[in-house]
Structure 1
Amino acid sequence: MKKRIHDIELFMKYPHDVQEELFHRLIAKGAQTEFGRKYDFRSIGSKEEFKQRVPVHQYEDLFPYIERVMRGEQGILWPSDITWFAKSSGTTNARSKFIPVSTDALEDCHFKGGKDLISIYINNYPESRMFTGKGLAIGGSHQINEYDPGANSYYGDVSAVIMKNLPLWAQIIRTPSLEVALMDKWEEKIEKMAHITMDQNVTSLSGVPTWTILLIQRILEIKKADHLLQVWPNLEVFFHGAVAFTPYRSLFASLIPENEMRYVETYNASEGFFGIQDQKDSNELLLMLDYGIYYEFIPFDEIDSDNPSTITLDQVETGKNYAMIISTNGGLWRYNIGDTVVFTSTDPYRIKISGRTKHFINAFGEEVIIENAESAITYACEKTGSIIDNFTAAPVFFEGKEKGRHEWIIEFRKSPDDTDAFNQLLDQRLREINSDYDAKRYKDMALIEPIIHHVPEGTFYKWMKSRDKLGGQNKVPRLSNSREYVESILKMLNH
């Protein structure tokens, strides 16, 4: 661990040299692929040539290549064989997207990120007793690749892909067993995890806050305990990621009433492991520069451009929003992951996740994007003969024992005769087109049915006018990960 801390300090000190060297290694590997031959990687000698020759890709642009790999073809995007795919939602043309996970990406990115997370934590807290007990990790599930069942390939949540491939030493220090951790029936899974782990010496938790809260609440219920330290007195840290933690902080404080409890954030996605909170008293994330990921950034005012220009790491400025573009050792080339970041420091490079390139709700890991919302509303309107004028939606966060949900405000031109039917259809359609939302809604485990307000005509006009936002260039924010807009409209209606 101490040796690795030295390596991290090295890339913090020489970030541009590390990224330059990594860039040339990626191009040399990529030259052996069909994608690399298409863009003649062998003749690319500089980052500028790479930018000029290879366009920025969305998932839809890379999907034809990914689909071929899923059907068993190899050497398409990356030279080594790819048999694992990380599944997530958020694409506009399909219910789920599938990100190739090569052996290089697993070992030099995801596993390395996990080891670095522990190394940084122990370096910050050398008195830690984390290794005297078990680490409880809540993962997803995996299944055989339905595109090509004979190809011996699989897909699943990125957490499941990582868990299934962990080395033996990592399996020994975690709980519960893989068989339970990778179950796909969440209700049964939470129940089994609770009964298996509640009498163990758990010293660390890792996972998405949403599912972690459900597990904690179930354990407290079974043990008839007031808080978690009565169950796990040696618990000291929660490694979390995937969704913003701020809305959950007060709830965790009530579940784990200990000032010394530590919370460490990570930025780990299907596409790669990008950042780790490396300072005790700051939630900024150190950008990890030696994980086989070459970074470029689109300035925020060019995000919607058909042919956006990108800048390299040495050109970014603090306090500005950028869309993140990555080229990786999993075969993603100049790929727009859809996240926006703000640099809080350039020596070393630290970031905060500022949002998505599109409106979205991802308070519980559901990743509902604007296309999902509009598709669901259109479907409900068609089925009920109604016509909408405007809408917005936001999360309702966990509070005490209350579960999370979404809250919609919809203004109709022509209202549905049966509002309950409309509400049910919207929720049902959203579950059909977004697998992550469906997983959270399964048996009301993490998300219960949405609240939907049907508001009078002219509501959004009055609201936009009150904010001095009338005009063609100003649009109603369809989705938001905060409650700012929903609260503002409801407050206006109640006055």
Structure 2
Amino acid sequence: MSIKSFAAKLFAKKIYNDTQKWAQKPVETQQKVLEMLVAKAAQTNFGKDHHFEGIRSHADFAKHVPVRDYEDLKPYVEKVVKGQEDVLWPGKPLYFAKTSGTTSGAKYIPLTKESMPYHIEAARNAILHYVHETGKAQFVDGKMIFLQGSPELEEKNGIKFGRLSGIVAHFVPAYLQRNRMPSWETNCIDDWEQKVDAIVEETYNEDMSVISGIPSWVQMYFERLEKKGHKKVGEIFKNFSLFIYGGVNYEPYRAKFENLIGRKVDSIELFPASEGFFAYQDKQNAKGMLLLLNSGIFYEFIKADEFFNEHPKRYTIGEVELGINYVMIISTNAGLWGYNIGDTIQFTSTKPYRVIVSGRIKHYISAFGEHVIGKEVENALKEAMEGTDVRVNEFTVAPQINPDSGLPYHEWFIEFEKEPTDMNAFSLAIDKAMRKQNVYYDDLISGNILRTVVITKVGRNGFQEYMKSIGKLGGQNKLPRLSNDRKIADAL
């Protein structure tokens, strides 16, 4: 055992013990976070506008601070972008994480000197929990890669901005710098396809042990490695033992990845965003990710089916229930207040609090009142694939309201790596799984309002070409699993 791996095990034990202290006192921990946030921001523009000096409880907070999305918070953010201080949080932010919005164009999410360390610590602690649980630490001696955006940053009014993953690249600990790949120059390549090709060339002969990134883009990297070497990724990288991912559910990709790698490797799921690092997988065999309650973020939860009501109830951590679809609302030490990040989650455990991401509040299908969410379509595909050798590269789902003939239906656009031998039976298997999960969908099928699922095959690299056509190939960009309109469907 190397000195580095031995040290990793010792450090992992400490971090695990530290985590248990707050995880065992979730309500108290969150109350302290709320009190800290309100006290710290009381003299900011936002704090004065929302009577922070009079807030003593969550009820007070919910009374004075409405739920907002980026559009609603934008007037405050624009002041910060112009260089004003003490607007949302004391002083100026260190960075803006620039993300692509929908109606708002570019979104600028502040990162402060208080919030930035938690992004780094959470990623580190996810790996250390894995080390503590499994005892596996040899991978720290190999090379590690995170497929990410360019670390080149711009500056506006004294504040640097860029993609979150590019900003984080500036905070890689010194003890990992020798292990980290690709090179800075390669990371700065803007064109995603050129970048992946350069990463393949740089890493092909290296001892890669940890690979991390959004599954859809790691898949492209693996495919090009296989094409170059004419062998499985697991043969090219004999010590590759840990895959770290976030952003999308891994399950639809698992069979494809295991085929590309040629063997199984352990994995760690993360739940990061520009707005905060919310959760990570702390146990290999436990469902869900540990919600980080001690990271400068106060969480509220609104039941998804009540979210669009005029005054929906805002639940705190001690009030949530298992298996319910919640919209997650955050207030943070980066100056986001009552902020709707757009993700829906479900709790899988309350001792400790673990969550899965079930979808996006704006990504659903309810063209006929069926209320289908992302988790349901992912589970349905996974169930249909079980016991078969079918492999899927990518998929998305949209309603077809006005078909040329027959009843309306849900259209599944699927790019197969290996097609089912009986496409009709496969579509019926998806439909059966959907009906089992969603009673509204089941009623629509049995009531002859909808017909069963229709699968439309997408050609090789069709989804990559679509993402390229809208300027969102690579990086942190993700394809929506489902849409309530046919914008993506028609483009495909």
Report TM bin, short chain: 0.7 to 0.9
Moved more, 179-188 or 214-223: 179-188
In structure 2, the residue matched to 1:100 is 110
Give the secondary-structure state (helix, strand or coil) at the position aligned to 1:439: coil
In structure 1, the residue matched to 2:38 is 27
In structure 2, the residue matched to 1:289 is 293
The one-letter code matched in structure 2 to 1:172 is R
**Residue pairs, 1:472-491, within 5 angstroms:** 477-478=484-485
Q: Does residue 1:268 correspond to 2:268, yes or no?
A: no
Native 8 Å contact 1:142 1:155 kept in 2: no
Native 8 Å contact 1:367 1:436 kept in 2: no
Give the secondary-structure state (helix, strand or coil) at the position aligned to 2:76: helix
TM-score by length of 2: 0.74
Deviation at 1:395, TM superposition (A): 4.8
2:99 & 2:411 partners in 1: Cα distance?
Answer: 21
2:185 & 2:157 partners in 1: Cα distance?
Answer: 23
Native 8 Å contact 1:248 1:398 kept in 2: no
How far does the alpha carbon of each residue in 1:296-353 deviate from its partner, in whole angstroms, 9 at most, with x for none? 1002232112433201110001111111010011110010111111111111111111
1:57 & 1:368 partners in 2: Cα distance?
Answer: 28
Distance 1:436 1:93, change over 3 A: farther
1:14 & 1:479 partners in 2: Cα distance?
Answer: 46
Distance 1:166 1:67, change over 3 A: farther
Of the candidates 305, 308, 312, which is equivalent to residue 304 of structure 1?
A: 308
How far does the alpha carbon of each residue in 1:442-478 deviate from its partner, in whole angstroms, 9 at most, with x for none? 9xx999xxxxxxxxxxxxxxxxxxxxxxxxxxxx943
Distance 1:280 1:301, change over 3 A: same
**Residue pairs, 1:327-342, within 5 angstroms:** 327-342=331-346
Give the secondary-structure state (helix, strand or coil) at the position aligned to 1:35: helix
List gaps (5 residues or longer) in structure 2: 1-10, 365-372, 379-391, 400-406, 420-461
In structure 2, the residue matched to 1:380 is none
Of the candidates 448, 452, 472, which is equivalent to residue 439 of structure 1?
A: 472
1:86 & 1:248 partners in 2: Cα distance?
Answer: 28
In structure 2, the residue matched to 1:140 is 149
Deviation at 1:393, TM superposition (A): 6.1
TM-score by length of 1: 0.74
Distance 1:479 1:87, change over 3 A: farther
Of the candidates 211, 214, 229, which is equivalent to residue 208 of structure 1?
A: 214
Q: How many residues align?
A: 404
How far does the alpha carbon of each residue in 1:84-131 deviate from its partner, in whole angstroms, 9 at most, with x for none? 222333x44223322111122110x21111111111110122133111
In structure 1, the residue matched to 2:429 is none
In structure 1, the residue matched to 2:442 is none
In structure 1, the residue matched to 2:163 is 157
In structure 1, the residue matched to 2:223 is 217
In structure 2, the residue matched to 1:424 is none
List gaps (5 residues or longer) in structure 1: 374-388, 402-426, 448-475, 487-495
1:298 & 1:367 partners in 2: Cα distance?
Answer: 29
1:73 & 1:176 partners in 2: Cα distance?
Answer: 37
In structure 1, the residue matched to 2:15 is 4
1:341 & 1:193 partners in 2: Cα distance?
Answer: 34
Native 8 Å contact 1:359 1:480 kept in 2: no
Give the secondary-structure state (helix, strand or coil) at the position aligned to 1:68: helix
1:321 & 1:167 partners in 2: Cα distance?
Answer: 37
2:199 & 2:36 partners in 1: Cα distance?
Answer: 42
1:269 & 1:88 partners in 2: Cα distance?
Answer: 10
Q: Does residue 1:250 correspond to 2:255, yes or no?
A: yes
Native 8 Å contact 2:80 2:87 kept in 1: yes
Native 8 Å contact 1:358 1:369 kept in 2: no
How far does the alpha carbon of each residue in 1:394-435 deviate from its partner, in whole angstroms, 9 at most, with x for none? 55246269xxxxxxxxxxxxxxxxxxxxxxxxx9xx98xx99
Identity %: 34
The one-letter code matched in structure 2 to 1:313 is I
In structure 2, the residue matched to 1:358 is 362
Of the candidates 233, 241, 251, which is equivalent to residue 236 of structure 1?
A: 241
The one-letter code matched in structure 1 to 2:273 is A
In structure 2, the residue matched to 1:125 is 134
Of the candidates 270, 278, 284, which is equivalent to residue 282 of structure 2?
A: 278
Native 8 Å contact 2:329 2:341 kept in 1: yes
Aligned CA-pair RMSD: 3.7
Native 8 Å contact 2:151 2:165 kept in 1: no
Distance 1:127 1:170, change over 3 A: closer
Distance 1:83 1:398, change over 3 A: farther
Q: Does residue 1:396 correspond to 2:406, yes or no?
A: no
How far does the alpha carbon of each residue in 1:2-51 deviate from its partner, in whole angstroms, 9 at most, with x for none? 21111111122111111111111111111131111111212211121111
Of the candidates 58, 81, 93, which is equivalent to residue 70 of structure 1?
A: 81
The one-letter code matched in structure 1 to 2:141 is T
Give the secondary-structure state (helix, strand or coil) at the position aligned to 2:115: helix
How far does the alpha carbon of each residue in 1:216-250 deviate from its partner, in whole angstroms, 9 at most, with x for none? 1112222222x012111000010001011111000
Distance 1:195 1:441, change over 3 A: closer
Deviation at 1:142, TM superposition (A): 5.1
Q: Does residue 1:322 correspond to 2:365, yes or no?
A: no
Native 8 Å contact 1:393 1:478 kept in 2: no
1:162 & 1:436 partners in 2: Cα distance?
Answer: 27
1:436 & 1:113 partners in 2: Cα distance?
Answer: 34
Deviation at 1:163, TM superposition (A): 1.1
